[in-house]
Structure 1
């Protein structure tokens, strides 16, 4: 009987030790987890905007402040003191909203100025083109929008007169950096400008410079998420349909003198057939047409 009691006591002690072990492990895990969460939630202090910044706004003690920020998610390039952020006369290169961290990438260096060249990628260029209320989409094109640039000019070649016009797309999906001297991406009110500055590569800059010499340029506003390019073609007067065709006054007068209707201009492709010294033009029906 005594041996049995000792066995029971020993088993109870063993079970107690096991329970203590598991309890210690459990509470140690809680402590470790809490310590890890405390480390993750440790706050750091960084510089944030205390008011909205526009392009070119100087950083000063009156428009920035220190704010607590989770230490494990401090943005790269954040400033850790007001003195560092305002040193050397830094200015905003991009719009910054209240409460947003002030980052190196959004402000100039010490002694810097707010210039478009400071935010241009190294391989790209900024080039300006003339616009007005019509060609600039009634002032609804703003800095930060994406546009296509269209060129309207006279059709080249012999036999073409001043009324023979064509329109083609010079550049697609280009970013507008500024309208006149306004480079604020947060501006939403329409404003009619005289120049639009767009971002393109060096070849695109050459195309725009030449295009504004040979014809008139227009902007076509597009959805900023639409990245599709290609598939465009040259549009001529024939694409406007019969209602948009222009018949020269000389032809109208000749037809009126004969008491007949003015000749109908072709609305599609044509083919000229020469028989001896006489030439006759025929309309070429499109595939599937009547």
Structure 2
């Protein structure tokens, strides 16, 4: 009985070893075939190494070497601004780090537009285009589109104030800027924010001339924002509305009546000259 048990045990161990040997052989074949397939793909599709994120990088985080890695990517599909070398992503000795200005997903290609320049912080100044300025507008729940604004959106700006009609008492609303880009809500410029926020101020990107116009408008009236759709590339037309145009009231024109022409004849009666009106012949 013991002999049979030992024989079965030896046979089982032998079969297990044979199964492991066969599995190793099959895995080796798979690895060899995969390597061959990748080599063939490299021959047919040109690849180059680019840096991708190894985890989700949130707004304001510092980009470190542990957060990225090089992976092969089809040359024709490499996005513009992708980093290909360590010298590009981490120039110098790393004493001037880069920070995230837009959330980067796990395994997403790192691009220049989503990180700051070396040594630059992730503040609003890093998001301004050349020649543009940041300008803050006071808003509330009504003028700020109920808190649904977020950095990166575009808005039309309307001004409401006293008009020239009726001695300046007539209020007028006018579109003064269209398609203005928001770069910050209160003190945050995180474009990945999705939850509504009732802001007290919004910061917009404007040219110096537009800044002067908005500063004057804000000091003389009330500014309201209108959110532009993400896919809307149209430009709002000039709008100028007061209470009369809103209610459809038309001002009546007063026409001055001309004095009728009077024709007379003069008749002398003794020492007195009398003018007698008669119908004009013309």
TM (normalized to structure 2)?
Answer: 0.67
Task: Measure how far apart 1:82 and its partner are.
Answer: 5.9
Quick one: distance in 2 between partners of 1:236 and 1:85? 55
Quick one: distance in 2 between partners of 1:110 and 1:175? 25
The residue that corresponds to 2:107 in the other structure is: 99
Task: Measure how far apart 1:62 and its partner are.
Answer: 4.4
TM (normalized to structure 1)?
Answer: 0.65
Task: Measure how far apart 1:231 and its partner are.
Answer: 2.9
**Pairing 1:67–2:75 present:** no
- Provide structure 2 residue ranges, at least 5 long, that are not aligned to the other structure: 1-37, 259-282
Map of 1:64-213 to 2, 5 A cutoff? 64-80=68-84, 85-86=89-90, 87=94, 88-156=96-164, 159-161=167-169, 164-213=170-219
Native 8 Å contact 1:66 1:82 kept in 2:
no
Quick one: distance in 2 between partners of 1:57 and 1:239? 52
Provide closer, same or farther for how the CA distance between residues 91 and 37 of structure 1 changes in structure 2, counting only shifts above 3 A.
same
Aligned length: 217
Native 8 Å contact 2:102 2:192 kept in 1:
no
Quick one: distance in 2 between partners of 1:223 and 1:103? 25
- Give the RMSD, CA atoms, in angstroms: 2.8
Native 8 Å contact 2:127 2:183 kept in 1:
no
**Correspondent of 2:249 among 263, 267, 272:** 267
2:168 partner SS = coil
Quick one: distance in 1 between partners of 2:104 and 2:39? 35
Please tell me whether Structure 1 or Structure 2 has the larger radius of gyration of its CA atoms: 2
Task: Measure how far apart 1:191 and its partner are.
Answer: 0.5
